[in-house]
Chains A and B, each alone.
Chain A
Amino acid sequence: QVQLVQSGAEVKKPGASVKVSCKASGYTFTSYDINWVRQATGQGLEWMGWMNPNSGNTGYAQKFQGRVTMTRNTSISTAYMELSSLRSEDTAVYYCARERTRDAFDIWGQGTMVTVSS
């Protein structure tokens, strides 16, 4: 079945970087964009950006410009989101979600908890 499976929970110190993976299966990886959305505890959904796995093109929310990098490895159908210069406010669950041509996010990963603490 179509699914996105994310890497496990991470604990990082302030100032460090984290890289979360999102492995796609059950569909052609390069046919759908991958978006990243995060959610702090008790808060709403916050969009971080998108990546086209076919071209590698990306688009980032202004808030994360300069701090986020989205990449992929098409040979293993996996997308990555790296966030640098972490601070406590980055503590959240990070989700990947697929979407085609600025449409709805129809499949979501299970989420990855990232905790930033000294």
Chain B
Amino acid sequence: SYELTQPLSVSVALGQTARITCGGNNIGSKNVHWYQQKPGQAPVLVIYRDSNRPSGIPERFSGSNSGNTATLTISRAQAGDEADYYCQVWDSKDVVFGGGTKLTVL
């Protein structure tokens, strides 16, 4: 079965750029979606199909996908960006989530 690998944690200084990776075999050939989840809340879609932002998501959130790695980039990180982030793909008829990355804003 297909697997997605994310770092357990990423730290970023306030106002700097955070990058969260999602590794998978030839993931560049798949559409990758990213979700933000804050404690006690349901996940929220922040990037869909590699690099598209839903309405209401700040331009500071961007995504890319190539080869074996997809990346979620958060520019000018704010305290409110502190959360867990999950990548997700469809593998044939199944959904696969990455293990999640805890983003800490210092």
Contacts and interface: CB of A to CB of B under 8 A. Distances in A.
B97 A46 contact: yes
Given A46-B97, A47-B95, A59-B93, A104 B43 contact: no
Nearest to A102: B90
Contacts of B14: none
Nearest to A93: B42
A108 B44 contact: yes
A44 B43 contact: no
Contacts of B37: 45
B21 interface: no
A103 B97 contact: no
Interface residues of B, number: 22
Which applies to chain B's interface (DSSP): helix, strand, loop or mixed? Answer: strand
Nearest to B46: A104
A59 B1 CA distance: 16
Contacts, number: 54
Nearest to B37: A45
A47 B35 CA distance: 14
B48 interface: yes
A64 to B, nearest CB: 11
Given A103-B31, A104-B33, A106-B54, A47 B45 contact: no
B97 A44 contact: yes
Interface of B: 31, 33, 35, 37, 42-45, 48-49, 54, 86, 88, 90, 93-100
